[in-house]
Every structure is written in structure tokens, then in C-alpha cells.
Amino acid sequence: MAGIALALVAAACGGGNPADTSPSGGENGGGNGGSDVQVGIAYDVGGRNDQSFNDAAYRGLQAAIDENLVVEENTNELEANQSGSNRDDNVVNLAEQGADLVVPVGFAFSEGIQKVAPDFPETNFAIVDGFACLDKPCENVSNLTFKEHEGSFLVGAAAALKSEAGTIGFLGGQQGTGLIEKFEAGYAAGAQAVNPDIEILVEYIGDTTQAFVDPTKGEALSNSMYDGGADIVYHAAGLSGSGLFKAAVSQNKLAIGVDSDQSLTASPEQQKLILTSMLKRVDTAVHDAIQQVAEGSFKPGTQVFGLAEQGVGYAVNEFNDNEQLLSKDIQKKLEDYKKQIVSGEIKVPTEPEG
């Protein structure tokens, strides 16, 4: 969904700050206990096994199951088709099946949820990256949002600290919504904090949600940036980012993953080239939404997950915790930047310069 959808929702709802006006707990919280709570997950294009955004939501569901907040038999998962044309149908189907909580995974669900939610007052909706009901919180809608720019600042700093060429790249998925631009802005700010003269190449795959499911174009654009002098490329492109990792192997250059710790699902030849991943804890947000419903404390409005809330960060694992990739010296500097961001000493931009 491009910027038109954002404008339509903004026009319909206004531009208030729901975080300031949200009640502390919803009336539709459930509170039936894990054994009775019904949870539905509506995945966006790319679906499960995208090794990124949708998979992170699934891990949140699994964590809730492991903690007995919900039993697996009371869960249902539906995936958007390739075009995303069935998003609203999937949400309605889950609600009609009696879900206490429906979790639509992605901002593209927001406009539809705003229309659908009033028809299902007994169902709560927690939209990952949502922007629904911005003027006046809907009683049964929660937007789960993230400070992606803060986490991206840290991996941008890591890229600049590691780069030998003085040129790095950014691969974005869908351009024009303002969301992926937050990743770009933070990445650039972090890199420039380390090296004000660093060159940053930027490529976007497209201007629709199909940009998140085009690994072939992701690979081609990544190769273009590597050929243009970048020795490290960071992606915020969903499944399309798998093309970046292919390009990194063919060029023997470094890559940075997103959303999940992508080293953990990469091939052995890719693992040694993934500097780190920007962690966007969609799993935490989804788990917390399920817990709220199970405990009868659903929170409508907007929930924000940043560095201070441990909602974003960067990955350190058995593959990159070494001098060849994310050295202890780099990690120390990243932690220093993290403290400055949390304290407010560093203000990370949410929009790219220019």
C-alpha cells in the first residue's frame, strides 16, 4: 500500500498522538485464561518462511504457546496471497471464527482493519506496524509500532566501523509509505556518526507491497551497489532481502539482515558474510499482545517498541562474534551509541535527508 493509503487514513482519522490518549486497558481483554483464548495470525505477502517479518510474528505466537498463554489448538494462521488482495478477507475469516485476538502482520492491513473492527466488537486486533484509528483509538485496535530508526542507527554505525571502502549500501523494499524510510534514515545517521564522509548508496525495489517478495530484483540491485563500490549492504526488504545474501556470496562482500537474526537461517556460505542483523522484535510485540488478551488487559491505541523497551537492537551470535565480523571493539562502540540514544543525547532521524 503506497502513500495514498496513508493519506486516506490520515484524512479519515486525523493526526493525533494515540500513545498519549490510549486507555490503560481495553474492555475486550478476554481474561479467560490461556486454555480458552482464541488467536488468529494474518500474515502478509511472503508468508511463513520469509526468514524475516512474518517469521518473527510466528515466533511470538510460539512463545505464547510455550508459556501456555494460548493452546495451539486454539490458534489459526492465514497467509496473504501473492498480490495481497485477500488481506481483509483473511482478517474477517479469523474474526468470524471467534478469535479473541487477530494479529495482522504488516502496515498494509491498517486501512482494512479500521473498516472491519467495528463489525467485530468482541474481537481485539493488534496490527504489527499499524496506523489505524490514529485520531481516536478504536476500543479493540492496537497498533504495534517500532523505532526502527534506532536499531538501524546501530547497524549503520557497525557498517561504517567495518567498511574498508568508505562506501556502503541500503536496499529498501516498498518506497513511499514512510516506514522503510525510517530504516534508511537511521542507517545513514549511524554511519555518518562514525564517518561523516561515508558514501551511502540507496536502492528501493518498488512502490507496492510486491517489493517485499522479489528476491531476484533484490539480488540485482544489491549487485549494482556492490559493483558501485559498497562493501556492506543493509536490507529492509522482507523476503526480497534473500537476494542480497546471494549477491553477498557472489561478490564476497558483507551484508546486514533485518527483523530477525538472519544468520540463524542463512546458508553456511552466507553466515560468514552477515555482519549482523537489525533486530525488530515483532515476536515480543505479538507475544505481549497475546498475553494482554489472556490476562484481560488489552491495550488499544499505539504501543511503541524502541531501544529503551528492547524492541529493536542488533544481533550478536556464534557466527559474527569474532574479529572477522563484529569485533568486541565494534560491539563496545555500538553499546556506547545505544546508551546515548536511550538517554536522549542522540536523536535519531526518522526521515532521510533531502
Which stretch of DSSP H or E encloses residue 284? helix 282-294
Single out the residue of 61, 9, 15 nearest to residue 34, CA to CA. 61
Single out the residue of 241, 188, 201 nearest to residue 350, CA to CA. 188
Contact predicate 233/169, CB 8 Å: yes
Task: Give the span between the Cα atoms of 33 and 14, in whole angstroms.
Answer: 36
pLDDT score recorded for residue 22: 33
Single out the residue of 107, 108, 144, 106 nearest to residue 124, CA to CA. 144
Question: Mind listing the domains of the chain with CATH numbers?
Answer: 21-147+282-305 (3.40.50.2300), 149-280+313-343 (3.40.50.2300)
pLDDT score recorded for residue 135: 83
Cross-strand bridge partners of residue 276: 256
Return left, alpha or beta for 30; rule: phi > 0 is left, psi -120 to 50 is alpha, else beta. Answer: left
DSSP state of 349: P
**3-state secondary structure (DSSP) of residue 202:** strand
Task: Please report, in tens digits, the pLDDT of each residue of the chain (354 residues total).
Answer: 333 333 323 333 333 333 333 333 344 444 445 569 999 999 999 899 888 889 999 999 999 999 999 999 999 999 999 899 999 999 999 999 999 999 999 999 999 999 999 999 999 999 999 999 988 779 999 999 999 999 999 999 999 999 999 999 999 999 999 999 999 999 999 999 999 999 999 999 999 999 999 999 999 999 999 999 999 999 999 999 999 999 999 999 999 999 999 999 999 999 999 999 999 999 999 999 999 999 999 999 999 999 999 999 999 999 999 999 999 999 999 999 999 999 999 999 999 997
Cross-strand bridge partners of residue 303: 144
Q: How far is CA 195 from CA 192, 200, 203, in A?
A: 5, 11, 21
Q: The pTM is what?
A: 0.85
Helix axis angle, 179-194 to 328-343, nearest 10°: 120
Neighbouring residues of 164: CB distance < 8 A, sequence distance ≥ 6: 231
Neighbouring residues of 135: CB distance < 8 A, sequence distance ≥ 6: 12, 13, 14, 15, 16
Query: At residue 55, what is the residue type?
Result: D
pLDDT score recorded for residue 34: 55
CB atoms within 10 A of CB 199: 15
Single out the residue of 54, 51, 21 nearest to residue 286, CA to CA. 54
pLDDT score recorded for residue 26: 40
Angle at 230 between CA 224 and CA 234, to 5 degrees: 85
Task: Give the span between the Cα atoms of 322 and 41, in whole angstroms.
Answer: 37
